[in-house]
Structure 1
Amino acid sequence: MAGHVEDRWWRDKTTDTGEVVLNEKGKPVREKTDLYGKGLRYRVRYYVNRRERSKSFPDGKLGRAKAFLAKVQTDALTGTYVDPDAGKVRLRAYVADYLKGGSDDPGTQQTLQSKLERMVFDFFGDCDLVEITRDRVREWLGWMQTRGGKRLFSATYRASMFDLLSSILSAAVDDGKISENPCRAKSIKRPKPVIRKVVPWEDEKLWRIEDALPHPYKIVAHLGAGLGLRQMEAFGFSPDDIDRRKREAHIVRQVRWINGQPTFAPPKRGKTRIVPLGERLERSIDHYVDEYEPLVVTLPWVHPAGELVSARLLINKAVDGIRRRILQNPHSARLWQAQTFHSDIWVPAFTAAGLTYVKHQDGTHALRHYYASTLLEQGVSIKALSEYLGHSNPAFTLKVYTHLMPSSHESARRASDKIFKPRVIPGAA
C-alpha cells in the first residue's frame, strides 16, 4: 500500500521554475507554509482500492503518524485492514441485518427486539458503529444500572444485555465494519450476574396460594406443582394431551403472543416432552373439566401467519365468571397473557393468602421449583427430572437444583462401614 506522512507546516523551498532549493550540504531548504501553527501538523496519506485516505496528527507526534502508516500498510498486507468509513453504518440498521442471521423464531425475534429498543437503542440512539467506543460502552454500563434513573436492573439482566451487544459488535468486526469490539477490551468489566439459589416453597405455602386463587385458576397451581408446567404451557394444555392408559401427560404446546396476536408454539426450545401423571392430579383435571367446559381454540402455529391449529384448552378464561376491565384486544377475552395473569390473578392471591409477594422468588415459576424439589426428594434422577422439565440438558438441571438433592452422607457412611466391617480370621481366638 502506497502512502506517506505530509508535514502541513513546512515544505521544501522551490525556485520560480519549480526546482528544489538545496543548502550547502545538498539537502532541501525548508520553509513555513501558510498553514504553519494552524490545526494538526502531520497528515498521513495512503491509498485503499485506489482511493485516497488520510488521518492527521498534532505537532510533536510525528512518531505516531509514522507508526499509524506502518500499521495501515501491515494490515493491508495481512488482510486485516478495516476501512474507517465501513463503520459509518447506523447501529439500528446493522442490528436489523444481524437479527436476520439469528433465530427465525418470531417469539425470540420479538424478545430480542424489545430488549434492544429498551436497553441499547434508548442509550446509543441513532449512532454509527464507529461511534461505539470503549468510553461509550462504559457510560452505557453505568446508565443500565438505573436506566436513566427510572429503574434498577439486576446484574444478571445487565450481563445478558452486555453479551448481546458484544455479540453484535463481534459480528461487525467479522464483517469488516469495525476493527475491534470495545466490549472485549480488558478495561471493560462485564456485569457480574448474581447467582440466586432456588428456594422451593414449603407445602403450606403452596396450599395457601392454591386456596387463595380464584376457583377457576386453582388448576394452575396443580399443573405447575404436579407436572412442572411453565405458565404459558399451562394455558396451552389440553385434557386431550393425556394418555390415560399410560398415565402420562404430553406437553406439546404453549400459548405465545406475537405483537398482540396469540399463537400456538412448541414448548420452550422446541422441547416437547412426556411427564408421568399422578392419579390424584388426573382426578383433579377431570373434576375441573366437569366444572369448566374446555374451550376449542384455533390459532396460527408459531407465527401469526402460520398454519391454523385447533386445540381444546383446559383453562377457559371466557367463562371464569370473573369481572375484569374491558380490554381492546378481542383475543384477551378468552386467552391470558403472562403479565396480565400475573397482575390480575397471581399477585392478588398472595394478598388474599396473607403472604408477601417476593419478586424473583414467588412467580408462577416457583411451582416448577416445587415440582423439581419434590421429585428430587423422592429419589428421581437428575436426568429424568431434566426430561420432565424440558431442560436443554441434565447439566443445566444439575446446576439449578444440585443444592436440593438429598444428602448422600448416610449412604457414604454405610458404604465405608461395609468396607471396614469386622473380619473373622480363621484360627483366631
Structure 2
Amino acid sequence: METDRERGEYIDPEAGKVRFEEVAGRWLASRVVDPSSAIKYESALRLHVNPVFGRRQLRTIKPSEIAAWVADLDARFGSSTARTAYLVLHGTLALAVDDETIKRNPAKARVVKVPSPKGGKVVAWGDDVVLRIAEGHPPRYRPIASVGAACGLRQGEIFGLAVEDVDFDEMVIHVRRQVKKLGREFVFALPKNDTERTVPMSDGTALILKEHIDATAPRAYTLPWEKVDGAPHTVKLLFRWTDDKHIRARTYDELVWKPALFHAGVIREPSRDARGRKQYFSSRANGMHALRHYYASITLADGVNIKELAEYLGHGDPGFTLRLYTHMLPSSHERARKAVDSRLARLFTLKPHRTATEQAAARSPTISWDPDVDLSAGEPRISL
C-alpha cells in the first residue's frame, strides 16, 4: 500500500465495496449513442448483467466468474447477446477503474473470451427462387421484394422509402431514411451508419415503381425523427400497411414474407397453434436480408467492383463487403491467362532453355585430334 501511494497508484479498498448496479446506472447514462443502441444496452443490463452482478460489490467480481457467465450467455442466447452483455459489463467496470473505485478491470483478463460472431459463407439464392418469392407476395407488396432484390436496400430502408427519393430522370434511388423501432414506438431515422447514399435504378425497377405510384397515389405520412419525441418528419411513403400506417417489420415478416418463402419452396409447410393460426419456421438466413445478398451476387458477377458495391449497400467499410462477399467474386483465371499472353507474347517466342544434357555438354571441354598437323612447326595436334 505504501509503494502504491508513492507511485500514485493507491486505491482505497473501501471504494471497491460499491455495488455494481450503482456504477452501471452511471455508465448507461453517460453513453452518447443513438436511441436504439441505448435501448439495447438497457435491455442487456436489465435482463443479463444486473441479475448476476448487480448486487455484487465491485471488488468481489472475479475474471473466472465473468468468463463462465459469458460462455453461458453464448450457449443459451447466442454470440450477439453475449457480446452486447459483455460490452455493458466491461464498460461499467472500465468506468469504475477510471473513477479509481477498483484498480483493474476483471473483464479484461485473458481468461475472459468474448465469442466471435457466428456465421459461415453467405449463400445467395438463385434467380428462380427470388422470382418465386416475389410472385408469392400480394400484388400491392410485390414491389417491396423487387426493390430489395434489384437495389439491395435494407428492410427498414424500403419501408421508409418515399416518392421524393426516387429520381426517374437520373435513374437513381436516394436512401435517406429508415423506419426504426424504438421500444414499442416507431420513428424515421437515418439509414444504418447514419449515412445517406444513392443507388442506381434499373429500367425494370423504374417501371415497377412508376406503376406502383400510379396505382396507390402515395400520400404524406409523418413520424418523429430519430427519437420518440423528435421533430415531426413528413414524406410520401411508397408502402403502407392495410391500416394505412407504416409497415411494421414483424407484421410483414409473419403475414407476407414467410408465406412467400413457403410459396417459393424455401421453408416447409406451416403448422397451426392452439388458436388455429399458421406458424412458419424459418431462420435468420432466410430473412429479407437475403435479398441484399442476392443483389450483391448478381452485381459482382456482372463486373461491379467491391468499392462500388459497398457504397450501394451502405457499408461503412469496403473491407467488410470484401470479407462478406469475396467468395462470390467471379473467377479471374481466364482473364489472367489472356492478360499474360497478350503482354508477354515476345517472351514466349524466345528459344526455350537448353536441356540438362545440352547444359552439361556446354560446360565440358571438347577435345579434337588432327593427325595432319605439322609438329615441326610447333602446332599442337590436340586442340580444345
Normalised by the length of structure 2, the TM-score is 0.81
Deviation for aligned residue 1:156:
4.9
1:91-130 equivalent positions in 2, closer than 5 A? 91-130=20-59
Is 1:191 aligned to 2:115, yes or no? yes
Q: Kindly tell me: are residues 166 and 239 of structure 1, through their superposed partners in 2, closer, same or farther at Cα, counting changes over 3 Å?
A: same
Q: Secondary structure at the match of 1:340?
A: helix
Deviation for aligned residue 1:261:
2.1
**Structure 2 counterpart of 1:316, one-letter code:** R
Q: Secondary structure at the match of 1:392?
A: coil
Q: Which residue number corresponds to residue 289 of structure 2?
A: 365
Q: Secondary structure at the match of 1:387?
A: helix
Q: Select the residue among 310, 314, 319 that pairs with 1:386.
A: 310
Separation in 2, partners of 1:187, 1:386: 36
Is 1:405 aligned to 2:329, yes or no? yes
Q: Between Structure 1 and Structure 2, which shows a larger proportion of helix residues? A: 2
Deviation for aligned residue 1:368:
0.9
Q: Secondary structure at the match of 1:81?
A: coil
Is 1:349 aligned to 2:260, yes or no? yes
**Structure 1 counterpart of 2:196, one-letter code:** T
Q: Which residue number corresponds to residue 202 of structure 2?
A: 278
Q: Which residue number corresponds to residue 355 of structure 2?
A: none
Separation in 2, partners of 1:274, 1:131: 52
**Structure 2 counterpart of 1:227, one-letter code:** C
Q: Which residue number corresponds to residue 12 of structure 2?
A: 83
Q: Kindly tell me: are residues 335 and 350 of structure 1, through their superposed partners in 2, closer, same or farther at Cα, counting changes over 3 Å?
A: same
Q: Is the 8 A contact 2:64 2:112 kept in 1?
A: no
Q: Which residue number corresponds to residue 171 of structure 1?
A: 95
Deviations 1:352-396 (A, max 9, x none): 333216413111111111111111111111111111111112112
Is 1:134 aligned to 2:60, yes or no? no
Deviation for aligned residue 1:119:
2.6
Deviation for aligned residue 1:419:
4.2
Q: Secondary structure at the match of 2:230?
A: coil
Aligned Cα RMSD in Å?
A: 2.3
Deviates more, 1:88-97 or 1:175-184: 88-97
Q: Which residue number corresponds to residue 277 of structure 2?
A: none
Q: Kindly tell me: are residues 122 and 229 of structure 1, through their superposed partners in 2, closer, same or farther at Cα, counting changes over 3 Å?
A: farther
**Structure 1 counterpart of 2:79, one-letter code:** A
Q: Structure 2 stretches of 5 or more lacking a match?
A: 268-280, 351-384
Q: Secondary structure at the match of 2:111?
A: coil
Deviates more, 1:351-360 or 1:197-206: 351-360
Q: Kindly tell me: are residues 88 and 311 of structure 1, through their superposed partners in 2, closer, same or farther at Cα, counting changes over 3 Å?
A: farther
Q: Kindly tell me: are residues 156 and 412 of structure 1, through their superposed partners in 2, closer, same or farther at Cα, counting changes over 3 Å?
A: farther
Q: Kindly tell me: are residues 164 and 199 of structure 1, through their superposed partners in 2, closer, same or farther at Cα, counting changes over 3 Å?
A: farther
Instruction: Give percent identity, aligned residues only.
Output: 36
Q: Is the 8 A contact 2:240 2:247 kept in 1?
A: no
Deviation for aligned residue 1:252:
0.4
Q: Select the residue among 131, 134, 139 that pairs with 1:207.
A: 131
Q: Is the 8 A contact 1:251 1:273 kept in 2?
A: yes
Q: Kindly tell me: are residues 291 and 92 of structure 1, through their superposed partners in 2, closer, same or farther at Cα, counting changes over 3 Å?
A: farther
Q: Which has the higher contact order (CA 8 A, sep 6+)?
A: 2
Q: Which residue number corresponds to residue 340 of structure 2?
A: 416
Q: Which residue number corresponds to residue 193 of structure 2?
A: 269
Separation in 1, partners of 2:59, 2:216: 59
Q: Which residue number corresponds to residue 325 of structure 1?
A: none
Deviations 1:234-274 (A, max 9, x none): 11001211122111111101111223222111111111001
Deviation for aligned residue 1:344:
2.9
Q: Which residue number corresponds to residue 327 of structure 1?
A: none
Q: Is the 8 A contact 1:295 1:316 kept in 2?
A: no
Q: Structure 1 stretches of 5 or more lacking a match?
A: 1-71, 147-151, 320-332
